[in-house]
Structure 1
Amino acid sequence: MTTDEAAGTEEERKAAKRAARRERRTRRRFARRQWRRRWLRWKPVLAVVLVLAAAGTAVWALWFSSLLSVQAVEITGLHSLKKGEVRRAAAVQLHQPLVGVDLDGVRRRVAALPPVESVEVSRQWPDQVLIEVTERTPIAVAQIGDQLRALDSHGVVFLDYGQQAPEGLPVVRTPEGTSAEALAEAAEVISALPASVTKVVDHVDVRTVDEISLVLTDGRTVVWGSADQSTTKAKVLTSMLPMDVQTIDVSVPGQPTSS
């Protein structure tokens, strides 16, 4: 073989190698394009599958798994009520899915307890229901017939004291069958009394919404009328207390009388 023939053969081999490399690169590029096309076709399907799987897992965890079921009912804010009373009223079923608890229903049932002024109910993930109670605050003892009941600032009677009422609260005396409106008026009157007057009041006598009077510890009577202008009436009464009279009438605070 001549030198020229050998050189030509070498060049042909190199050319063949270059062609082979180009062909491999072409095949790899083609394979990548084919893979990308398949991926683009299957990508939405895979996304849907993943979403469905995640949704199925969430549904299972929320509704069927014991991991997110009610294991306890936490109750806060109690003073006169017992936790057992609130739990019975709430009627939250343990081991039910936490997501399925009827929070509004629980709230209504607990709010129906007389000592409850307001209540908030919430889910505490992963496995508790929280009931936050605000109880009514007594401002007076309502003596209704022979019963002693707690009276709040809205005129709601909510607790039976039995035969022993707590000391330090003014007493409201009223006959059985007194309307809720009359009790609300009495509560408004008591709320308007300054401490200097409250301490000399033996009890508040309530007949109707317009027939409210104070009986003082020294036996004197204060005719109050309705709860209208109670703040002004309290100021007028304070100025008239030193008077040596048996009856003070502040039902019309602009024209008080005494006798």
Structure 2
Amino acid sequence: MERGAGPGTAARGERRRPESGPPGPPRRGPFRAPGGGRPTTPDARRTAGPVVARRRLAVLLVLVLVAGFCGWALYGSSWLRVQRVTVSGTRVLTADQVRRAAAVRPGTPLASVDTDGVAERLRRALPRIDSVDVVRSWPHGIGLKVVERSPALLIEKGGKFIEVDAKGVRFATVPVAVKGVPRLELATKAEPGTAASLRRFGPGRLVGAAVRVAGDLPDAVAREARVLKVRSYDSISVELARGRVVVWGSDERGAEKAATLTALMKAAPRARHFDVSVPTAPAVAGS
């Protein structure tokens, strides 16, 4: 008995036969973000844009609010305003003098205080001030740290004394001579042999030379210095206590002259006249 051809074989053959007609569009899987992130769909991508924009807008709004609050706190509120001005470092000046010259008004926003302007105002109003540091002391203070000038020489004029510092600056006039500061006697045009030096160098330069000589004196000699006499640029002498005199010459080679003078005074402690104008050939007399 022949076995009839069953439909199975034909059907299986037909199922294996490819379908005719044009190929369909390729199937697309879900979009996967770079780096293996969570897959997103086109709809998700379309909705992500507005979310990011809203987040950025929110961050920008917060930054604007914070900046506005900081500006109001610094300049508009009563929280950070000047309530006190402290002064330190004064020796001759008083704290009240410095505060008045600084002219920092109470209630001024601390952030708006021009510290450089305050320092310049102080130096202009009070020449005794050599330098000043103006600092903000949050939340309510301004600090003025003052360094006063120290007199290196005194110039007597009209019964008063002009103080001159180590830079040659004439910064104050006082009624009484400061103890321990030598007096400067500057030659005048009427004195013989001094007119030419004054024309060439001028009083200001001669005062500067005297200041440098005063700064170069050995400490032991400086403590006994009473008068510095300047007849010309290269003729400067120092009168000491007990009538002793040092002929210094010009203000050049100051360190060498100081060392020579120290050695001379040790070798001839009773001498009354020391000449170090030429430090390599010094001389003493009156011992």
- Report if aligned partners of 2:187, 2:232 keep a CA contact under 8 Å in 1: no
Q: Distance in 2 between matches of 1:238 and 1:145?
A: 36
- Report if aligned partners of 1:142, 1:157 keep a CA contact under 8 Å in 2: no
- Superposed counterparts of 1:203-242, under 5 Å: 203-241=227-265, 242=268
- Report if aligned partners of 1:201, 1:217 keep a CA contact under 8 Å in 2: yes
Query: Which shows bigger deviation, 179-188 or 122-131?
Result: 179-188
- Superposed counterparts of 1:93-172, under 5 Å: 93-112=105-124, 113-144=126-157, 146-162=159-175, 164-172=176-184
Q: Distance in 2 between matches of 1:41 and 1:198?
A: 78
SS in 2 for 1:232: helix
Q: Distance in 2 between matches of 1:218 and 1:128?
A: 53
Query: Which shows bigger deviation, 49-58 or 182-191?
Result: 182-191
SS in 2 for 1:81: coil
Q: TM-score when scaled to structure 1?
A: 0.73
Q: Distance in 1 between matches of 2:275 and 2:157?
A: 25
Whichever of the two has the greater Rg, that structure is 2
Q: Distance in 1 between matches of 2:52 and 2:222?
A: 83
Q: TM-score when scaled to structure 2?
A: 0.67
Deviations 1:24-69 (A, max 9, x none): xxxxxxxxx9998765342111111111111111111111112112
- Opposite residue 279 of structure 2, the aligned amino acid is P
1:81 deviation in Å? 0.9
Taking structure 1 as reference, are residues 57 and 253 closer, same or farther at Cα in structure 2, changes over 3 Å only?
same
Q: Distance in 1 between matches of 2:272 and 2:143?
A: 55
1:248 deviation in Å? 4.1
- Opposite residue 122 of structure 2, the aligned amino acid is V
* RMSD after superposition: 3.1
1:78 deviation in Å? 0.9
Taking structure 1 as reference, are residues 127 and 209 closer, same or farther at Cα in structure 2, changes over 3 Å only?
farther
SS in 2 for 1:68: coil
- Report if aligned partners of 2:137, 2:143 keep a CA contact under 8 Å in 1: yes
| Mapped pair 1:180 → 2:188 | no
Deviations 1:118-155 (A, max 9, x none): 11112222122211111122344343463223332223
> Any stretches of 5+ residues in structure 1 without a counterpart?
1-32
Taking structure 1 as reference, are residues 145 and 243 closer, same or farther at Cα in structure 2, changes over 3 Å only?
farther
1:208 deviation in Å? 4.6
- Report if aligned partners of 1:179, 1:208 keep a CA contact under 8 Å in 2: no
Taking structure 1 as reference, are residues 40 and 237 closer, same or farther at Cα in structure 2, changes over 3 Å only?
closer
- Report if aligned partners of 1:145, 1:174 keep a CA contact under 8 Å in 2: no
Query: Which shows bigger deviation, 185-194 or 150-159?
Result: 150-159
2:31 maps to none
> Any stretches of 5+ residues in structure 2 without a counterpart?
1-44, 189-197
Q: Distance in 2 between matches of 1:97 and 1:154?
A: 37
Taking structure 1 as reference, are residues 144 and 122 closer, same or farther at Cα in structure 2, changes over 3 Å only?
same
Q: Distance in 2 between matches of 1:93 and 1:120?
A: 18
- Report if aligned partners of 1:68, 1:98 keep a CA contact under 8 Å in 2: yes
- Superposed counterparts of 1:19-98, under 5 Å: 39-98=51-110
Deviations 1:186-244 (A, max 9, x none): 22212222233235433111345433211233445433222111222223333445388
Q: Distance in 2 between matches of 1:201 and 1:68?
A: 53
Q: Distance in 2 between matches of 1:122 and 1:130?
A: 5
1:80 deviation in Å? 0.7
Q: Distance in 2 between matches of 1:99 and 1:244?
A: 65
Taking structure 1 as reference, are residues 53 and 36 closer, same or farther at Cα in structure 2, changes over 3 Å only?
same
- Report if aligned partners of 2:183, 2:227 keep a CA contact under 8 Å in 1: yes
2:193 maps to none
